[in-house]
Structure 1
Amino acid sequence: MKQVVQNYKSGELAVLDVPVPGCKPGGVLVRSAYSLISTGTELMKVSEAGMSMLGKARSRPDQVAKVMQSVATNGVPATYRKVMGKLDSYTPLGYSLCGVVEQVGAGIDDVKVGDLVACAGNEHALHAELNWVPKNLYTPVPDGLAPRHAAFGTVGSIALQGVRQGEPQLGEVALVIGLGLIGQLVVQLLTASGVRVVGADPDPVRCELAERLGAAACGDPASAAVEASVAELTGGHGVDQVYLAAGGGSNQPVELAARLSRDRGRVVDIGKCRLDLPWNAYYEKELDVRFSRSYGPGRYDPSYELEGRDYPIGYVRWTERRNLACFLDLLARGSVDVEPLVSHVADFDDAVETYRRLKDGELKAVAVLFRYPGHTAEAEEAAQPAAVSVAVPAVKVQPRPARLAKSPVRLAFIGAGNYATSMLLPHLAQRDGVELSTVVTTTALSAANAQRKFGFAEATTDLDAVLGDKSVDAVFVVTRHSSHAELTRKALLAGKTVFVEKPLALTEDELAGVLAAVEESGNDRLQVGFNRRFAPLLREARKRFGARTGPANLRYLVNAGRLDQGSWYLQQGSEGSRFVGEGGHFIDTASWLLDADPVSVYATAPSGNEDLQIVLRYPDESTATISYVTSGPSAFPKETLDLIADGRALRLDDFVRASVYFEKSTAGQQRWVSSRLPKARDKGQNAELAAFVKAVRSGGPMPVPLASLVATTAATLAVRTGLAGGAPVTLAGAR
C-alpha cells in the first residue's frame, strides 16, 4: 500500500510503498476514503523538517533537553548515533480521516466490514491507503454524512474539546484569536451553543469566512475594529471567554486576550502559540487560564487508546471517542458546516506536490483533503444523501362551465394590507367595468379604511357572508401567507373565481388541500399573483428574443435585502421562510421564459444566513440558476436576469431596461435595447389584473394554467426539501 512519509533530517517528503498493517485484536483495518491535512500542525512539522540542525533545535527546545539528558547518561557518541538514527528515518503524517472498514479484529462488535468510520490519531489515522485503528479511536459515520465531511472528525474533536474547556453559556460573548481551520470550527461550535463570537485574524479572507459561518464580527487583531466590536457586544465589560487558536512566535494573542477579557474571564489555549503571560494583566482580572489537550480525555493514555479501556461515562462524560461521535452528529444535523472550509481536494498520488504548494504559499488553504482510490467512489455514493423525489400533484378536475360575469365584474377582497392597498387596489379602483363589492378584514377599522380609500360598497369582518354572496364574481385573497391555502380552498368550494397572492401554499399538504377543493367543486378558476410574466418590458424582450431551438441557460439574481426587525416575514414558524413566501415569483418567471415546468430542483445555502443558490433543470436540458441573497447592499438593483440560447442573449435590469443581443440576424440587427423607463418600475401587476378581470368577465381560460401554478408551487416547496436533504429533488410527474 502507499503512505505519505517524511524524513525529518533532510525534509524529504515521499509517497512510499509499505507493507499493509495487520488487523490486530481490539481494532479494525480501514481503507481510507478521505484524509484531512492539518494546515496548522502538519505544516509546522513539514516546515521544521526543512530547517538546519540549529533551526530544528531552536524550534524544539523540549527535544534538546532530552538530548542533553541522554548525553549525561549515555555519552556523546551513543547519543549522536541515537539522534541521527531517529532523524534519518521516515515518519508518518496525518491524524484525521474517514474510510471503509475492510477487516474486523477480534473483540470488535460495534462495526462490520463495509461500514463507514471516522478515525483519529497520529499513529492510526495516517495519510495511508490502509490503517489499523483501535476501538476508542474510530466511530461509525451517521447515515447521510459525506465521507469528505466525516474526515474532519479529529480536527473537529480538537475544536470541540477546546469549546468544552471554555464552558460557554447561552448569551455569552467569546473572542476567537486565529481563524485557521481550528478557529473556524470553534466559531461555528460557539455559535451553535448560543454564544456571540468575535474573531481576530490578520487575514481578511478568513475574517470574511468566519462571519459567513456565524461570527458577529471579525477583524485584524492589530486594528481597533476587534476591540470596538467587543465593547459594543459586551457593553464595555469584555468577553466571557477567549479561545487561542493561533500559532507562531508572537505574544500578541495572550496580550490581546488579557486586554479584551472581562473580570474573571476564561482563556483557553487550543493552538500552539507563545504563552508569556503578562502577570499584571492576568492577575488584576484574575483570569482563568485553561489548556485543551487535543481530542479530549483518553488522549496520550495507552490503556484507553491502545487497549480499548473506556472511562465510565458517569466520571468522564466526553472522552476522545465520544467527542468524535458528537462532532459527526453535529455535522450530520447541519449544526456545523465544513464544506466552506474545503479549499482544495487533491488525489492521494499528488500528496507530495500538494504539501510543496502549501509550504511555498502557492496554495492558500484553510482545509485540504486527500482523496483515495479504490473504495472512495463507493463510499461517497453510499454516504451521500439519497436523491429525493417529490410528486407534483396532478390536476384532476372536470371543470364546470365558467359563470359569465355581468358588467360590472363584482370583486371582494379578503385582506387589505400594504400590498393590496399599494399594488392591486389602485389599479382596480380606476378600471372600468369593475365594482369593488366588499372588503373583509379581521379588524373593523382596517376594513373601514379600505372602504373609504378605494370605494368598496361594503366593509365587514364576516368572511362567510362574502363567500355566500352570489353576486360576488371573484375573491382576492391578500392576507398573511399562513392563511392563503385555507382561504383559497373555501373560496373555490364556494364557487368563486379566486385570485390569491403568492404563495399558494406553505406545505405540500396545503397544496394538496387546494387541489382537493378543485376536484370536489369542479372549480379550477384560480390565479396566483405571479405578476412578473405580465411585465410589459419583459414581454417585449421575450418577443424580441424569439423562439428557441436549443437548451437555454438562465441566471436570475435576486437582491432581496435585509428585513426590518419587526417584519412578520421573520415569523418562519407560522409564515414560512422568505423564499417560500416570494420565491415562486422567480421560479414562475424562469419557467415562463423557458416555456416549461422544472423537472428537478437543487438548492444549497451557506451556514448562518438566508442566501440561497437554486438550480432548476427543465425537460429540454435548459437550466435556471436563481441566486436569492439577503446580504447585498440596498443600493444594488433587486432583480437582474440573463437568458442565453441559440447565439442570443436577453438581459433584464431590474424592470428599468431590457436588451437582447444577436449573434446573427437576417436584418443585420446585432442588438435591441429598450428605452429607460421614465416612471416607476412596472412589474406587471396592472396587466395581470386586466387579464384576470377579462377571464372572469368572459369565462375564458385563466391567464396562467392551473398545472403551471401547481408546478411552480411544488418547485418552490422542493427547495426546502433539497436544503434539508443536501441532494437534488426530482419533481416526479412534472410536465
Structure 2
Amino acid sequence: MKQVVQNYKSGELALLDVPVPGCKPGGVLVRSAYSLISTGTELMKVSEAGMSMLGKARSRPDQVAKVMQSVATNGVPATYRKVMGKLDSYTPLGYSLCGVVEQVGAGIDEVKVGDLVACAGNEHALHAEVNWVPKNLYAPVPEGLAARHAAFGTVGSIAMQGVRRGEPQLGDVALVIGLGLIGQVVVQLLAAAGVRVVGVDPDPVRCELAAGLGAVACGDPGSATVVSSVAELTDGHGVDQVYLAAGGGSNEPVELAARLSRDRGRVVDIGKCRLDLPWNAYYEKELDVRFSRSYGPGRYDPEYELEGRDYPIGYVRWTERRNLACFLDLLARGSVDVEPLISHVADFADAVGTYQRLKDGELKAVAVLFAYPDRPADGDGPKAAQQPQVAVPAVRRGSDQAAGKAPVRRGSAPVRVAFVGAGNYATSMLLPHLAEREDVTLAQVVTTTALSGANAQRKFGFARASTDLDAALADPAIDAVFVVTRHSSHAELTRRALLAGKAVFVEKPLALTEGELAAVLAAVEESGNDRLQVGFNRRFAPLLREARKQFGPRSGPASVRYLVNAGRLEHGSWYLKQDTEGSRFVGEGGHFIDTVSWLLGADPLSVYALTAPGTEDLQVLLRYPGGSTATLSYLTSGPGSFPKETLDLIADGRALRLDDFVRASVYGRKRWVSSRLPKARDKGQRAEVNAFLAAVRSGGPMPVPVESLAATTAATLAVRASLVAGAPVALARAQ
C-alpha cells in the first residue's frame, strides 16, 4: 500500500510503498476514503524538517536534553547511532480521516466490515491507504453524512475540546484569534452554542469566511473594527473568553487577549502560539489561562488510546471518542458546515506535489483533502471494502524444520535472518552489526506497524518488509529469527519460532512469568530444537572479558557486588506498564544475574530480595555453589549523572573492578588497569551477535546453554517471589 512519509533529517517527502498493517485485537483495519491535511500542524512539521540540524535542535530543546542524558549513560557512539537512526527515518503525516472498515479485530463488536468510520490519531489516522485504528480512536459515521465531511472529525474534536475548556454560556461574547482551520470550526461551534463571536486574523479572505460561518464581526489584529465590535457587544467590559487558535512566533495574540478580555475572563490556548504572558495585564484582570489538550480526555493515555479502556461517563463526560462522535453528529444535523472550508481536493497519488505547493505558497488553502482510490461515492453511503484479507496458511508442522530440528546450513551460504520488531534497540544496537556483513542475508523484517518495517528495510537492506509473522515462520529459507519486540510478547514469539525449527535470538527477558518460561522449555522439549540465545550481552563485553582473563582462574569462594543505577523512567514509558510488560527488574535484571553467573561459572542456588517501602530500589542476594555470593543493588532513585553499572569481584586475595564498561582493573600481586581512553562503551552486543551467528552457521552449540538461560530467567522471576514471601527462594537445579 502507499503512505505519505517524511524524512526528518533531509526534509524529503515521499509516497512510499509499505506493508499493509496487521489487524490487531482491540481495533479495526480501515481503508481510507478521505484524509485531511492540517495546513497548520502538518505544514509546521514539514517546515521544521527542512531546517538545519542546529535549527532542529533550537526548535526542540527538550529532545536535546534527552540526547545529552543518553550520552552520559550510553556514550557518544551509541547515542549518535540512535539519534541518527531516528532522524534518518521516515515519519508519518496525518491524523484525521474517514474510511471503510476492512477487517475487525478481536474484541470489537460495535462496527462491522463495510461500515464507514471517522478516525483520529497521529499514529493511526495517517495519510495511508490502510490504517489500523484502536477502538477509542474511531467513531461510526452517521447515516447520510458525506465521507469527505466526516474526514474533519479529528480537527472538529480539537476545536470542540478547546470550546469545552472555555466553558461558554448562552449570551457570552468570545474572541477567536486565528481563523485557520481550527479557528473556523471554533467559530461555528461557539455560534451553535449561542455565543456571539468576534474573529481576528490578518487574512481578509479568512475573515470573510468566518463571517459567513457565524462570526458577528471579524478583522485584522490591529484594526479598529475588532476593538469597537468587542466594546459594543460587551458594553465595554471585554469578552468572556478568548480562544487562541493562532500559530507562529509572534506574542501579539496573548497581548491582544489581555487587552480585550473582561475582568476574570478565560483565555484558552488551542494552537501553538508564543505564550510570553504580559504579567501585569494578566494579573490585574486575574485572567484564567487554560490549555486545551488536543482531542480531549484520553489523549496521550496509552491505556485509553491503545488498550481501549474507556473513562466512566459519570466521571468524564467528554472523552476523545465522545467528542469525535459528537462532532460527527453536529455535522450530520447541519449545525456545523465544513464544506466551505475545503479549498482543494487532491488525488492521493499527488500527495507529495500537494504538500510542496502548500509549502511554497502556490496553493492557498484552509483545508485540503486527499481522495483515495475505491472510496465510496459521497451520498451513496458506505460500501464493502474492495480488497478483502487473504488468509495466510498456519505454520507448517511435520517437515524436518517444523519438527524442531536445527536448520540445515547450505555450505557457506549466508545465514538468512528474519527480524520480528524494528524498534530503537534493534535499529541502534543489533542491526548496524548485521547490515554490512556478507555472510548474513537480512531476508525479512516483521513489524506490527507498516512504516517501522519500511524504515528498517530502507536503512538496513532487508529483502522484504511485512506484518505477517506466520508467513515468516513458515518460510523454509529463514535460518534464524531475532525477536526484538515488547517484553510481553517474547515468550510466545520464541515458543512459536522454536516450534517452527528456527534458531532464535530473543532480547531479554525470555519470559515474564514461570508459566511463560515453562512454555518455552516445553517447546524446546517438544521440538528437540535448543537453538536459543537470549540477549544477555554483558558477558560478551570485550572489556569485561579481558578483565576476567587478567583475574585468572579462581579456586575459593567469591564475593560479588553489582551496583546498577537504573534511574527514573519518563512518565508514559511502556516499561512502567507492569501489568502487561512486567516489572523493570524482570525486564532488565537478567542482564546482571547472567553476568555474575558467567563470572562465577555457575548458576545461582537461591535468591533473597529486599526493598525499602515506597521505593522500587531492590537489594538481591544470590547464593552460588562453593560458598560464593553476589549482592545486586538495583536502584531507581539515583542521579542520572552517576555511572549506571559498577561491579566488584573479590576472591583468592584478588579483586576485579568494572566501572560502567569504560574502565576495568584487577588488583593482586600485579595490578592491571585498562586503557583510560576506550573507543566506546561496548557492552557486548556485536560480539554476542557474532557468537550466535557462528553457532547457526556451523551447527555447533549455542553461546550459552539453554539450562543457563533458564536458570538466569528463573532467578530473575524469583526476586518477586522472595519479596512476597519475605524469605529466600531456592532454585531448582537443572538436571
> TM-score normalized by structure 2?
0.52
Q: Distance in 2 between matches of 1:185 and 1:366?
A: 11
- The residue number in structure 1 matching 2:193 is 193
Q: CA RMSD in A?
A: 1.1
Letter of the aligned partner of 1:381 in structure 2?
D
Q: Distance in 2 between matches of 1:333 and 1:287?
A: 35
- The residue number in structure 1 matching 2:416 is none
1:158-173 → structure 2 map (5 Å cutoff): 158-173=158-173
Q: Distance in 2 between matches of 1:118 and 1:377?
A: 14
Q: Per-residue CA shift, 1:395-428, capped at 9, x if unaligned?
A: xxxxxxxxxxxxxxxxxxxxxxxxxxxxxxxxxx
- The residue number in structure 1 matching 2:149 is 149
Deviation at 1:163, TM superposition (A): 0.1
Instruction: Tell me the matched-pair count.
Output: 383
1:10-89 → structure 2 map (5 Å cutoff): 10-89=10-89
Q: Distance in 1 between matches of 2:301 and 2:180?
A: 28
* Gapped regions of structure 1 (runs ≥ 5): 385-735
Asked whether the 8 Å contact 1:21–1:131 carries over to 2, the reply is: yes
Deviation at 1:73, TM superposition (A): 2.4
Letter of the aligned partner of 2:98 in structure 1?
C
- The residue number in structure 2 matching 1:362 is 362
SS at structure 1 position matched to 2:380: helix
Letter of the aligned partner of 2:244 in structure 1?
L
> Are residue 180 (structure 1) and residue 171 (structure 2) matched?
no
Q: Distance in 1 between matches of 2:147 and 2:13?
A: 26
> Are residue 249 (structure 1) and residue 252 (structure 2) matched?
no
Asked whether the 8 Å contact 1:33–1:379 carries over to 2, the reply is: no
Deviation at 1:219, TM superposition (A): 0.4
Deviation at 1:57, TM superposition (A): 1.3
Q: Distance in 2 between matches of 1:377 and 1:323?
A: 25
- The residue number in structure 1 matching 2:113 is 113
Letter of the aligned partner of 2:232 in structure 1?
E
Letter of the aligned partner of 1:127 in structure 2?
H
Deviation at 1:379, TM superposition (A): 6.4
> Are residue 211 (structure 1) and residue 206 (structure 2) matched?
no
- The residue number in structure 1 matching 2:95 is 95
Q: Per-residue CA shift, 1:692-722, capped at 9, x if unaligned?
A: xxxxxxxxxxxxxxxxxxxxxxxxxxxxxxx
Q: Distance in 1 between matches of 2:251 and 2:65?
A: 23
Q: Distance in 1 between matches of 2:378 and 2:237?
A: 50
Asked whether the 8 Å contact 1:23–1:104 carries over to 2, the reply is: yes
Deviation at 1:56, TM superposition (A): 1.0
Q: Per-residue CA shift, 1:655-703, capped at 9, x if unaligned?
A: xxxxxxxxxxxxxxxxxxxxxxxxxxxxxxxxxxxxxxxxxxxxxxxxx
> Are residue 276 (structure 1) and residue 301 (structure 2) matched?
no
- The residue number in structure 2 matching 1:342 is 342
Letter of the aligned partner of 2:215 in structure 1?
A
- The residue number in structure 1 matching 2:588 is none
SS at structure 2 position matched to 1:381: coil
Deviation at 1:40, TM superposition (A): 0.7
SS at structure 2 position matched to 1:353: helix
Q: Distance in 2 between matches of 1:285 and 1:48?
A: 36
- The residue number in structure 2 matching 1:353 is 353
Asked whether the 8 Å contact 2:114–2:382 carries over to 1, the reply is: no
Deviation at 1:71, TM superposition (A): 2.2
Q: Distance in 2 between matches of 1:234 and 1:79?
A: 57
> Using a 3 Å threshold, how does the CA distance of structure 1 residues 380 and 128 change in structure 2: closer, same or farther?
farther
Q: Distance in 1 between matches of 2:173 and 2:278?
A: 23
SS at structure 2 position matched to 1:132: strand
SS at structure 1 position matched to 2:267: strand
> Using a 3 Å threshold, how does the CA distance of structure 1 residues 90 and 377 change in structure 2: closer, same or farther?
same
Deviation at 1:80, TM superposition (A): 1.6
> TM-score normalized by structure 1?
0.52
Letter of the aligned partner of 2:18 in structure 1?
V
Q: Distance in 1 between matches of 2:138 and 2:271?
A: 23
Q: Per-residue CA shift, 1:357-386, capped at 9, x if unaligned?
A: 000000000000000002x135652269xx
Asked whether the 8 Å contact 2:115–2:382 carries over to 1, the reply is: no
SS at structure 1 position matched to 2:98: strand
Asked whether the 8 Å contact 1:153–1:328 carries over to 2, the reply is: yes
Q: Distance in 2 between matches of 1:115 and 1:325?
A: 15
1:561-576 → structure 2 map (5 Å cutoff): none
Asked whether the 8 Å contact 1:144–1:383 carries over to 2, the reply is: no
Asked whether the 8 Å contact 2:27–2:135 carries over to 1, the reply is: yes
> Are residue 328 (structure 1) and residue 336 (structure 2) matched?
no
1:347-426 → structure 2 map (5 Å cutoff): 347-374=347-374, 376-378=375-377, 381-382=380-381
Asked whether the 8 Å contact 2:376–2:382 carries over to 1, the reply is: no
Q: Distance in 2 between matches of 1:197 and 1:73?
A: 53
Q: Distance in 2 between matches of 1:290 and 1:17?
A: 42
Q: Per-residue CA shift, 1:516-541, capped at 9, x if unaligned?
A: xxxxxxxxxxxxxxxxxxxxxxxxxx
Larger Rg: 1
Asked whether the 8 Å contact 2:145–2:379 carries over to 1, the reply is: no
Q: Per-residue CA shift, 1:1-58, capped at 9, x if unaligned?
A: 1100000000000001110000111100000000000111100000011111111112
Q: Distance in 2 between matches of 1:331 and 1:383?
A: 17
Asked whether the 8 Å contact 1:242–1:266 carries over to 2, the reply is: yes
Asked whether the 8 Å contact 2:37–2:370 carries over to 1, the reply is: yes
Q: Per-residue CA shift, 1:95-130, capped at 9, x if unaligned?
A: 000000000011100000000000000110000000
Asked whether the 8 Å contact 1:100–1:379 carries over to 2, the reply is: no
- The residue number in structure 1 matching 2:258 is 258
Deviation at 1:223, TM superposition (A): 2.0
Asked whether the 8 Å contact 1:34–1:151 carries over to 2, the reply is: yes
Asked whether the 8 Å contact 1:351–1:370 carries over to 2, the reply is: yes
Deviation at 1:226, TM superposition (A): 1.0
Deviation at 1:69, TM superposition (A): 2.2
Q: Distance in 1 between matches of 2:39 and 2:161?
A: 19
SS at structure 2 position matched to 1:382: coil
Deviation at 1:63, TM superposition (A): 1.6
Q: Distance in 2 between matches of 1:338 and 1:269?
A: 22
SS at structure 1 position matched to 2:176: strand
SS at structure 2 position matched to 1:309: coil
Q: Distance in 2 between matches of 1:371 and 1:222?
A: 39
Letter of the aligned partner of 2:35 in structure 1?
S
Asked whether the 8 Å contact 2:92–2:127 carries over to 1, the reply is: yes
Q: Distance in 2 between matches of 1:383 and 1:135?
A: 19
